[in-house]
Amino acid sequence: MYSEKVMDHFTNPRNVGEIEDPDGVGEVGNPVCGDIMKIYLCIRDDVIVDVKFQTFGCGAAIASSSMATELIKGKTIEEAWAITNEAVVTALDGLPPEKVHCSLLAEEGIHKAINNYRIRNNLPPLPEEKRNDEDPTPAVDQR
């Protein structure tokens, strides 16, 4: 069901953990299934020098979180803000259609954490786009 990249990032997630005294933190919940992602940023001169995450969720959510942290590490805040969930999905060699919503957790987590950093530094928060209302595919029943 999942690509090799997804399984790799799921079984060996990169950048797991917490950062003490982070410069920005974002915690987001996925209203579709109730999963949670927390992301911690360490920022120097507008560059994300370190990032860590914790995720409670499915394989796709964990893999997306891991990949997203890889994608934003070393990037400027501006570059990190521009990373979409589609970019995360592409970097993972795709996700099953019913799992694409899980990658939104990563995008929104990054936005939340960056805005948290901006607020701490007396900058106005950037507008966060809410895109979680997309309907996942129809239910598959448990047997």
Which residues participate in catalysis according to the annotation? Answer: 33, 102
Q: Least distance from C-beta 58 to ligand FES, angstroms?
A: 3
How many CB atoms are closer than 10 A to CB 2?
19
Q: Which of 17-25, 27-35, 38-46, 76-84 is the region at the interface with ligand FES (rule: CB under 6 A)? A: 27-35
Angle 4-11/59-72 helices, nearest 10 degrees?
90
By the rule CB under 8 A, 84 interacts with another protein = no
24 to 71, 82, 104: CA distances (angstroms) = 17, 17, 19
Q: Which residue in the set 68, 102, 110, 114 belongs to the binding site for ligand FES (CB under 6 A)?
A: 102
By the rule CB under 8 A, 57 interacts with another protein = yes
74 versus 136: smaller Cβ distance to ligand FES = 136
Q: Which residue in the set 9, 13, 106, 108 belongs to the binding site for another protein (CB under 8 A)?
A: 13
CA-closest candidate to residue 46, choices 19, 83, 81, 87: 81
The DSSP line for 71-97 is: HHTT-BHHHHHT--HHHHHHHTT---G
Binding-site ranges for ligand FES (CB under 6 A): 30, 33, 35, 57-58, 60-61, 99, 102
